[in-house]
Chain A
Amino acid sequence: MAESVLNVRDLNSYYFMPSGVIKAVDRVSFTIEKGEALGIIGESGSGKSTIGWSIMRILPYPGKIVKGEIFYDDQDLLKLDMEEMMKIRWKKISMITQSAMNAFDPLMKVGDQITEAILIHEDIPKAIAVKRAENLLEKVELRASIYRNYPHELSGGMKQRAMIAMALACRPVLIIADEPTTALDVIVQAQILKLLEDLKDSMESLSIMFISHDISVVSELCDKIFIMYGGRMMEYADTQTIIGNPLHPYTKGLLSVFPKIEETEMKFESIPGSPPNMANPPKGCIFHPRCRYAKRLCREKTPEIVNVGDNHFVSCCLIST
């Protein structure tokens, strides 16, 4: 346990809307070890982004972390005051998002923004910060001359790389990547994934929390996978197990709907129904309306999280130890 970079325990984050409470993250627990990439898979409304915002403690109003503990290096982030949290945010734990548009000020040169990010958190001479910014741009395979460009002058792929450089500015231990390649073309995506893997392997012990809806991307980059649906954990295990021996019906569904292009008679399947209305979610197991195995029990009982062995966790009424 002492080796875990991040230990999320029973996290509950809700949005208090006028119409009611949305349990966007509901009893979520997982760990991320040093140098490990954890993939969080979920479709729209699954709550996956809310987890990232909760860890960074940047939940938008009317969101609130209602319960739980988020241990970073044995410190519960949820117990820190704002000043202490600021020492962690962007320093130890940083974030990259789907669109670099949110990360960059359109009126400032890219390099200057990275330099500024360094100077805010570290008391070093500006010239040194500039040099570090240039090195970071090279590390993410951008020409150092990009330093002088404005964000709008960069392509989508280049902006994502610049955002990664920004996220690395203060030498974080963990990067939360929220759909970092979703808006990118497949070739740029491959280049960014390779970059992330190289950073993980080269920069000693950089951990990555990779949030995505794309199970194929996550299965290639990540060591462990956490499957979310309706704010709750469905299944959580190492990648080999999730892909090779999935137990939860939703996991099986996600794997079967992934189109296998190498097959001659390629099939395109769907999971019947649609994601739950989080303002009024189904009773019992939140997935049951779409589950082909659903029994009466599933409508009545909320499933427990069961450890079926070897750190393989499943939350399904029909699966017990």
Chain B
Amino acid sequence: MNAEKILRVNNLQKWFRRGLDYVKAVDGVSFEINKEEIFGLVGESGCGKTTTGKVVLRIIDKTAGDVFFKNQEIFGLKKAKLRELRSKMQMIFQNPYEILESRLSIFKLISEALEFHRIASSKNEKIKKVTEILFDVDIRPPEDFLFKHPLELSGGQLQRIAIARALILQPEFVVADEPVSMLDVSIRAGILKLLLKLKREFGLTFLFITHDLAVAKFICDRLAIMYLGKICEVGPSDKVLDDPLHPYTKALRAVLPGLDLDRKHYRNVSNIIRGEIPNPINLPSGCRFHNRCPYAQSICSEIEPTFLDIKGRSVACHLYST
């Protein structure tokens, strides 16, 4: 794997105004993604993972911090440079069924992006490019699908179309936001394996956003577990998920149901984690997980923990400070 850093996020903050308060959706997040790496942002709803993905693509504005795409700070870029950047950074969204509302043909839906970026002028050129990308996403034979409408396609096929739309511009970096969570379990593997294949073929780098630990373990090389706008643990995915150190990561792993029949993973949930995610307007003091943590000490409510490198990953937790 290339050591070139495609993305560098530095102390990113995104706060949303709510009347006189702020929802600190992303509150000091830093990470790097190497070329051809699949980096995961993993967490439950409200942790800030989707917001991070949107800020990284400059779909929404940041409040503070920096985002570097190949050493270019993206928030400083002006119109022409920004447009060029956008063709290099694309997004795959969660809901493949959204395009069902469209009356456009598959060909039109995919070639839209070519038009916007003024690539491929003639219709024949467009058809050629669309046919190629359909083949790449395993929609075969592609010619049969060009003039179909979304309503004629299955969920899995629709998601492949969504991937085709993202990849037709030959981006270098893709943000995938829960790309399989709305698909039936029996077809998820196909989409995940397709993303891996495309990554290899096109040298893509991914930011992969998900709440599903199994999906994250399968597809991500490294991942960061997020909670209430901050990262608690970050490192290689099998290290973080097979041997979780942060109490929140431990809780996520511990309550995951399985097929082993002799364990009900929900049984001891109240011993593993207490209560509910607090209101993000009223963040707990110190470590924002402390009020739910079974290991909390007094320091946890006073001081925010900093990252420590242990056992091949980084954890922000007072349990591990010497």
> Shortest beta-carbon distance, B139 to chain A, in Å?
13
Q: Is B304's beta carbon under 8 Å from chain A?
A: no
> Shortest beta-carbon distance, B44 to chain A, in Å?
4
Complex Cα spacing A189 to B186, Å: 21
Q: Is A280's beta carbon under 8 Å from chain B?
A: no
Q: Is A74's beta carbon under 8 Å from chain B?
A: no
Q: Are A194 and B266 in contact (CB under 8 A)?
A: yes
Chain A hits for B157, CB < 8 A: 274
> Shortest beta-carbon distance, A182 to chain B, in Å?
10
Q: Are A270 and B276 in contact (CB under 8 A)?
A: no
Chain B hits for A240, CB < 8 A: 261
Kindly specify which of B55-63, B171-179, B252-260 makes contact with the partner chain: B252-260
Query: Contact partner of B186 among A194, A220, A254, A264, CB < 8 A?
Result: A254
Chain B hits for A123, CB < 8 A: none
Q: Are B185 and A43 in contact (CB under 8 A)?
A: yes
> Shortest beta-carbon distance, B234 to chain A, in Å?
18
Q: Are B276 and A157 in contact (CB under 8 A)?
A: yes
Q: Are A271 and B187 in contact (CB under 8 A)?
A: yes
**231-259 of chain A: CB within 8 A of chain B:** 239-240, 243-244, 253-255, 257-259
Given contacts A44-B155, A190-B255, A219-B257, whether A155 and B218 have CB atoms under 8 Å apart is: no
Q: Are A271 and B193 in contact (CB under 8 A)?
A: no
Could you list 17 examples of A-B contacts with CB < 8 Å?
Answer: A44-B155, A157-B276, A158-B276, A187-B251, A187-B255, A194-B269, A214-B185, A216-B257, A220-B258, A240-B261, A257-B189, A262-B242, A266-B217, A266-B218, A274-B155, A275-B154, A275-B184
- The interface of chain A, by Cβ under 8 A from chain B, is 43-44, 155-158, 185-191, 193-194, 197, 213-217, 219-221, 239-240, 243-244, 253-255, 257-262, 264, 266, 268-271, 274-275
Given A216-B258, A257-B185, A271-B186: 15 more A-B contacts, CB < 8 Å = A156-B45, A191-B266, A193-B266, A197-B264, A213-B185, A214-B257, A215-B259, A258-B185, A259-B214, A259-B215, A261-B214, A268-B214, A271-B187, A274-B156, A275-B184
